[in-house]
Amino acid sequence: MNNLPIFLSLLLISSLYLNPIVSAQRYAAIFNFGDSLADAGNLCADGIPAYLATARLPYGMNFFGFPTGRCSDGRIVTDFIAQELGLPLLPPSKAHNATFHRGANFAITGATAMDISFFEGRGLGKNIWNAGSLHTQLKWFDEMKPSICSSPQDCRDLFRRSLFIVGEFGGNDYNAPIFAFRKMDEVHELIPFVVDSISKAVEKLIADGAVELVVPGVLPIGCFPVYLTIFNNEAVKNFGPQSGCLRNFNTLAWAHNSMLQRAILRLRNKYPGVRIIYGDFYTPIVQFMLHPEKFGFYKQPPRACCGAAGMGSYNFNLTAKCGDPGATACADPTTHWNWDGIHLTEASYGHIAKGWLYGPYADPPILSRSSAQ
């Protein structure tokens, strides 16, 4: 009796069940690096600093019911990804009495891709207030290894079964010259340095054993109330006619993302056995702006859910930011894509996380059929 057809049928069925969309438990852990878009409380590990408004209500009002150090009303992208993969929420790497065998979050608010010496050499040292740069976070990762692995080979085995999220990085690097009111040409000059730093970090993690990495781009910052408020007077002729965003800032973000995607392509060619995913923040936020009703958001100018009235209709005031006296939160943050003028709402992060997991906001999606091979 010829059993070949039966064998082929069983092979087809088994291949379907190898699809990670069906079996999300394919990752043993998640290790995340980044800035305030991904910080899960590293600034609060040794107590809440008096200056840290993001550690006060209404931050964390949704899902958690209390502030956690996340710059949102609730969960962030990494939380949604961990939940979808059946993993616990990543503890901040600086947390005491935490276990990191299922992953850790090294992200910290204010983080940059470049070390502080880079900015000091350009007269921008005073604009960088956090020393937790990308490569500092990689050192924290190295320091953690003995607590989660019994040997270098044990580490490599774990990391081969883990998902690494490297960023977003770049936003705070560009903010240093932007908020020092340097010319945009000078800001653009930073892009190759930032992208190279991210590329080197990816290669370092690959050398450690990582084979699946998400490398996110930066946001269309010209759509955010903080920039729209501060640069409102000098950029009247620079507004996008449909979005109302500042085109020069979005051009900066687009240039960074384009160079980063070219760098990712080079890394893919250099490491054919490694899966490097581009995580897109830019496209979904533009879609939130242009087609808000598709996501359950109000159709309105770029407006912070949490803040106080300032210039224009952006609900952003530097002297009364979210978490400060005089600032209030909107009744339903799920109707807003922007949380505090600088960061996103839990609802926005949920849409982006889904787009990274299943498409269309990732290249390729984290849980794409091809990743089962």
Q: Which of 36, 93, 243, 368 is catalytic?
A: 36
| 101 is known as an active-site residue | no
Q: How far apart are CA 329 and CA 61, in angstroms?
A: 10
Catalytic (active site) residue 72: no
Q: Which of 131, 112, 127, 109 is nearest to 54 (CA)?
A: 109
The CA dihedral of 103, 107, 113, 118, to the nearest 10 degrees, is -120
Residue in 79, 173, 340, 348 annotated catalytic: 340
C-alpha distance from residue 166 to each of 52, 355, 371 (Å): 24, 17, 18
Q: 343 catalytic, yes or no?
A: yes
Q: Which of 256, 336, 343, 351 is catalytic?
A: 343
| Cβ-contact 279, 269 below 8 angstroms | no
Task: Please classify residue 11 by burial: count the beta carbons closer than 10 Å to its beta carbon, then call 0-12 exposed, 13-18 middle and 19+ buried.
Answer: exposed
- Alpha helices of the chain — where are they, by DSSP H? 4-17, 77-84, 116-120, 134-148, 152-160, 171-178, 184-188, 191-208, 225-230, 247-270, 282-290, 346-358
Element (H, E) at 29: strand 29-33
E strand or H helix at 216:
strand 212-216
Residues annotated as catalytic (active site), given as ranges: 36, 340, 343
